[in-house]
Amino acid sequence: MGGMVQLRETLIHQALLAKAGPEGARLLDAARTLAFINGYAESKGWSADDTWPLSRLCAASLIAGEHSRATAAATGSRGGQTVGGRFRQSLASLASNFGCPIEAGGALVEGAAPKAAPGRAKQAATLPPQVYCHLEELASAPDPTEPPPKKGKPAERAFGPVQKVARYYARAFVTAGYASVRFNEALQLELVLDSVEPDDVIRGYVRKTKDGSPLDVFIPTKGFLGPFPWYRRHLADVQAYGGTMFPDFEGPRGCRTHINLATDLKAGTLLESGDLAKIFHSLLTLPPLAWSKAEIARSGVRGHSPHGSLSDLARTIGPRPNPPFELPSSLRAGFDKNDWNEIGLWLRSKRDKAEAEENRRVHLGNKAGRTDAAAGPGAMVLLYTSGDGRLGARTRQLDARRRLVRYVRLALAAYGRHWSELPATDNLAAWTALLGSLRDVESDDESDGGDQRSEA
């Protein structure tokens, strides 16, 4: 009997870990939601038998109560309008991911709070070129010769030469930024030297992306300002701290909001995704960029900005660009839809996601001896061009990323001034000042040197 109990506990533990999310956020949300439900039931004098299973009426009552409380307080960027909807999602997650007896669907539950807040949601802006250049300069900073002063306000003490923890995070954000991964994916990103081009490419692997699939990422070791002389040391540092790009850190009071005050990284730990945005914004307040909190807010730069910025830039340049500087033949074709997808890792359309899921079902069915119809071409292309020993994903990612980096480097050289002189906090004005009018060549018949793409 004891062995069965231990086996049961082990299997339950594994099942919970499988649903916990990359840094345990889903499991933490589940624990908080359960505590809220039980606390609410206790305040009403309900017994466990009265509370569980949680009926649609009780679920709707909880959601409506949270919506009323949050909108009355009117806090947050949307005035509390999204709280009820998020609580409904938490109830649904308890039911679907953790097997809790909750009736989380139906018109009664859906109508208890709006699914989306009225008005236009705030969207993360594309990173301006200054942010990329600033982070690259921080990443290449020399070893600090002295720590920040111990007296004064945290913001004043942090404003100085970049310290080793801040430099480590700058290198991590440069790597993740040129990989175009989401913050949650950056927390999982495993980095190694590329086996084919160890001097020029970093290979990354994400075990589970937003759509549930793994992801291979290939990152050139050259950015808008030039090569990354630090990348081998950074990969060694990542391994020394437990293999994670974003370990937790320690330091004196104020270091959680002023990262340049942090004194050391904590091996074997992992930051929460919410901390990444704080560190990212804190790095932008350091010289040479030295943005204020107000300037960061005006820029629209948020934690999600790095994920889609390079893809947006490639789409903005578009096919057959006509910039105010000379382009080599390898760049004259510009960037098409396939390039946007490869740079931004938009690997699946809705149809391809469905095909990928069907392919997984077919694959498992055929292994079990069943013969189902084959999955669609999108899923098969994805399956057979990604992973160890496959060339397609690596070749296309590196080709598109290298061409985009080279394009911006040429634009910076043509600009003729330091990147800090680009229009401050206005990403559209900054990119336009750097790249020109961004208009396409009007005639398809005009010679553009052909589609002579290279890995320049």
Whether omega before 288 lies within 30 degrees of 0, making that bond cis, reads yes
Q: Indicate yes or no: pTM above 0.75.
A: no
Alpha helix stretches (DSSP H) within 80-196: 83-98, 107-110, 129-139, 154-158, 164-179, 183-186
For residue 240, what are its two tokens?
């020394």
The pLDDT, as a whole number, for residue 119 is 59
pLDDT in tens, the chain (456 residues): 567 778 777 777 777 777 676 557 778 888 889 899 988 888 888 888 888 999 998 899 889 988 888 888 877 666 788 888 889 989 998 888 888 899 988 888 888 888 766 655 567 889 999 999 999 999 999 998 888 877 777 777 788 788 999 999 999 999 999 999 988 889 989 999 999 999 999 999 988 787 777 889 999 999 999 999 999 999 999 999 999 899 999 999 889 889 999 999 999 999 887 889 999 999 999 999 999 989 998 888 888 889 899 999 999 999 999 999 999 999 999 999 999 999 988 654 555 555 555 555 555 454 444 444 444 444 444 444 455 545 678 899 999 999 999 999 999 999 999 999 999 878 889 999 999 865 444 333 333 333 332 333
First-to-last C-alpha distance (Å) of the chain: 65
Would you state the pLDDT for residue 448? 38
Which pLDDT value is given to residue 151?
73
**Integer Rg of the chain from CA:** 25
Distance CA 20, CA 132 (A): 33
Task: State the DSSP string of 240-284.
Answer: HTTS-SS--EE-STTTTT-GGG--EE-TT----HHHHHHHHHHHH
Angle subtended at Cα 284 by Cα 282 and Cα 290, rounded to the nearest 5 degrees: 115
Longest dimension (CA), the chain: 80
